[in-house]
C-alpha cells in the first residue's frame, strides 16, 4: 500500500494518473507499493509474468533484451518521472519482453496492472490520455528504428549523437556502458569506439570521460564514410 504523501504526489502528477477521480486514485495507491533497488539489481527479467508496471522516482533503469543469437540489446534508458511496462496492459502480452535493471540506485512505484486497467474502463478520458502517451512512445520507437536501419555504422552513430544532443541540451552523457549503446545501434563495441575517435579527429565532437559535446552539428548530421 502506498501511503507516503510525497510519493503519492509524484504519482498523481504523472499523466497516467492525473485525470483519475480521487477515490479511484486512492484505490490504485492501495494496491501500489514502493520499491528500492541497488545498482545492478534486476526488477524483472525477460520472460517473467507481466502483471505490474512502474514509475521511476529516482535513479536510472535500463531495459535490455537478449536476442535469439545471445546478444544483449539496450532497448531504453528510463529516467526519473518516466513510466514503463504500461503498454503491456493492452497488448495481451503475458510476459515481459525485456529485463529491467537498476543502472543506478533507484526508487520506484510498482502498480497493479490488472486493477489499473479496470479503473481505466470507468474513465474514458484517462484512456485517451494513455493512448496519447503510447502514441508518443510509438513515434520514439520508429525514430530509433530509423537510426538502427538507415545507413552504415558511421551514419548510425552520427544520427544517434544528433538525437541525443537534442534531448541533452547540447551535451551527451553516456550514462550506460558503450557496449549497450553499440548493441542498440547494431554494431560492435570496438566499431562504436573507433567511429567516436574518427569524429573527434574530424573536429565534429569533443569527448571528456563520458560526456560528448557536439562541435559541428550540421556536419555531424550529414556525416558518412
pLDDT value of position 196: 96
Whether residue 142 is contained in a domain is answered as no
Q: Which of 135, 156, 175 is the C-terminal boundary of a domain?
A: 135
Say yes or no: 88 and 16 in one domain: yes
Contact 224, 152 (CB under 8 A): yes
> For 148, phi and psi rounded to 5 degrees?
-75, -30
pTM surpassing 0.85? no
**Domains: count for the chain:** 2
**What is the side-by-side strand order in the sheet with 171-173?**
171-173, 211-214, 205-208
CATH number at residue 14: 2.60.120.10
Examine the domain organization and report whether 91 and 119 are in the same domain.
Answer: yes
Please choose, from the candidates 16, 85, 5, the residue with its C-alpha nearest in 3D space to the C-alpha of residue 45.
Answer: 85
pLDDT at residue number 47: 96
User: What residue numbers bound the domain in which 126 lies?
Assistant: 5-135
Count how many Cα atoms sit within 13 Å of the Cα of residue 185 in the half-sphere of its side chain: 25
Q: Are residues 203 and 116 in the same domain?
A: no
Coil/strand/helix, residue 155? helix
Per-residue confidence (pLDDT) for residue 147, from 0 to 100: 67
pLDDT at 169: 67
pLDDT at position 127: 80
Distance CA(29)–CA(24), nearest Å, equals 9
- According to the model, what pLDDT value does residue 122 have? 83
Asked if 18 and 126 sit in the same domain, the reply is yes
My answer on whether 80 and 113 are in the same domain is yes
Instruction: Please give the chain's pLDDT, 225 residues, in tens.
Output: 888 889 999 999 998 888 788 998 999 999 999 999 999 999 999 999 999 999 999 999 999 999 888 888 888 889 999 999 988 877 778 999 999 999 999 999 999 999 998 888 888 877 887 777 778 877 877 777 776 667 889 999 998 999 888 766 678 988 888 988 898 888 899 999 999 999 999 999 999 988 999 999 999 998 887
Last residue of a domain, one of 106, 135, 164: 135
Say yes or no: 158 and 115 in one domain. Answer: no
Residues 31 and 62 in one domain: yes
Residue found by looking up cell 550529414 in the block: 222
Query: Is position 28 within any domain?
Result: yes
Give the CA angle between residues 198, 200, 205 to the nearest 5°: 125
Half-sphere exposure of 224 (CA within 13 A, CB side): 5
- Are 124 and 51 found together in one domain? yes
Which pLDDT does position 190 carry in this prediction? Answer: 95
For residue 120, CA distances in Å to 19, 20, 52, 110, 138 come to 10, 8, 15, 17, 20
Phi, psi of 28, deg, nearest 5? -60, -45
| Domain end position, chosen among 110, 135, 160 | 135
Per DSSP, the three-state class of 123 is coil
Q: Report the alpha-carbon distance of residue 181 to residue 49 in Å, rounded.
A: 27
pLDDT at 7: 93
Residue 167 C-alpha cell reads as 534531448
Q: Are residues 208 and 119 in the same domain?
A: no
Amino acid at each position: 500500500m502506498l501511503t507516503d504523501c510525497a510519493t503519492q504526489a509524484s504519482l498523481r502528477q504523472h499523466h497516467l494518473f492525473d485525470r483519475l477521480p480521487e477515490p479511484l486514485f486512492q484505490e490504485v495507491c492501495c494496491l501500489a507499493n514502493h520499491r528500492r533497488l541497488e545498482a545492478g539489481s534486476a526488477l524483472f527479467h525477460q520472460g517473467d509474468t507481466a502483471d505490474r508496471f512502474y514509475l521511476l522516482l529516482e535513479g536510472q533503469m535500463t531495459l535490455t533484451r537478449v536476442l535469439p543469437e545471445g546478444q544483449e540489446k539496450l532497448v531504453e534508458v528510463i529516467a526519473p518521472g518516466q513510466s514503463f511496462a504500461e503498454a503491456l496492459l493492452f497488448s495481451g502480452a503475458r510476459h515481459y519482453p525485456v529485463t529491467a535493471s537498476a543502472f543506478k540506485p533507484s526508487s520506484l512505484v510498482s502498480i497493479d496492472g490488472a486493477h489499473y486497467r479496470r479503473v481505466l474502463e470507468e474513465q474514458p478520458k484517462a484512456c485517451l490520455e494513455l493512448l496519447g502517451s503510447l502514441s508518443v512512445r510509438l513515434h520514439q520507437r520508429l525514430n530509433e528504428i530509423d537510426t538502427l536501419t538507415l545507413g552504415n555504422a558511421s551514419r548510425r552513430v552520427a544520427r544517434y549523437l544528433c538525437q541525443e544532443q537534442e534531448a541533452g541540451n547540447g551535451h551527451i552523457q553516456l550514462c550506460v556502458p558503450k557496449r549497450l549503446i553499440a548493441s542498440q545501434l547494431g554494431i560492435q563495441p570496438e566499431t562504436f569506439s573507433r567511429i567516436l575517435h574518427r569524429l573527434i579527429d574530424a573536429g565534429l565532437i569533443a569527448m571528456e570521460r563520458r560526456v560528448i559535446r557536439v562541435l559541428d552539428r550540421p556536419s555531424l548530421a550529414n556525416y558518412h564514410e
